[in-house]
């Protein structure tokens, strides 16, 4: 369905990727990062009862529905976005080969989300903690350092040893 709208390069992130890199969990939506031609934005939103997030002809994100699921497509626009898609890998999820972001890019996406969207802050923190705990010895911290500000990197490195209260205080600045 995404390819029908010109989204040829995409990878799953969010709850699907958390399930790949730590343990599966229930999710209310499907998060995908990918390319979206500006000419397809309005058509996709009209056909799929969607909304845009961000100004400009090419929004930062579009949300639409497919088969009862909300799909959040984070539109690839930056050097980081292109690098993330280049690094995505193929894995098997429920018997189907799909592309997912790398573990490092999943952590970066979670930190980016926490900068501006804190509606599910506890779930996002739990996801980050689960992924870091499972993948700790395999993480490429030098790659993460390239894309995450120093204060967020310190939070990621300390996430396994910090209490929930400490993490929330750091994120909320209290």
- At residue 116, the pLDDT reads 73
**Residue 33 above 70 pLDDT?**
yes
- At residue 174, the pLDDT reads 53
pLDDT mean over 78-97: 94
- At residue 161, the pLDDT reads 83
- At residue 106, the pLDDT reads 97
What does the alpha-carbon distance between residue 80 and residue 108 come to, in Å, rounded to a whole number? 10
Q: At CB < 8 A and 24+ separation, what contacts does 28-32 make?
A: 28/70, 29/63, 29/69, 29/70, 29/71, 29/72, 30/69, 30/70, 30/71, 30/72, 31/72, 31/74, 31/109, 32/2, 32/71, 32/72, 32/73, 32/74
**Residue 48 above 90 pLDDT?**
no
pTM score, two decimals?
0.88
Query: What value does the CA radius of gyration of the chain take, rounded to a whole number of Å?
Result: 16
**Residue 26 above 90 pLDDT?**
no
pLDDT mean over 134-161: 90
Sign of CA dihedral 101, 106, 111, 117: positive
> Does residue 166 sit in helix, strand or coil?
helix
Contacts of 136 (CB under 8 A, 6+ apart): 160
Q: Which of 20-34, 41-55, 158-172 has the highest mean pLDDT?
A: 20-34
Quick one: what percent of the chain has pLDDT higher than 70?
98
- At residue 149, the pLDDT reads 93
pLDDT mean over 121-128: 85
- At residue 32, the pLDDT reads 95
Which domains are seen in the chain, by residue range? 3-172 (3.30.460)
pLDDT mean over 79-104: 95
The confidence band for 10, taking pLDDT boundaries of 50, 70 and 90, is very high
Arithmetic mean of pLDDT over the chain: 88
């Amino acid at each position: 369905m995404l390819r029908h709208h010109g989204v040829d390069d995409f990878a799953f992130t969010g709850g699907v990727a958390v399930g790949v890199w730590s343990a599966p969990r229930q999710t209310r939506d499907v998060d995908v990062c990918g390319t979206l031609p500006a000419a397809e934005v309005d058509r996709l939103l009209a056909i799929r009862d969607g909304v845009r997030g961000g100004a400009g002809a090419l929004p930062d994100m579009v949300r639409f529905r497919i088969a009862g699921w909300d799909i959040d497509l984070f539109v690839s626009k930056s050097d980081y976005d292109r690098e993330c898609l280049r690094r995505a890998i193929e894995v098997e999820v429920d018997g189907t080969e799909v592309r997912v972001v790398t573990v490092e890019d999943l952590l970066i996406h979670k930190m980016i989300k926490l900068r501006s969207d804190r509606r599910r802050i506890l779930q996002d923190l739990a996801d980050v903690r689960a992924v870091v705990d499972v993948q700790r010895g395999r993480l490429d911290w030098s790659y993460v350092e390239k894309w995450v500000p120093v204060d967020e990197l310190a939070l990621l490195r300390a996430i396994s040893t910090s209490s929930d209260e400490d993490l929330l205080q750091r994120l909320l600045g209290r």
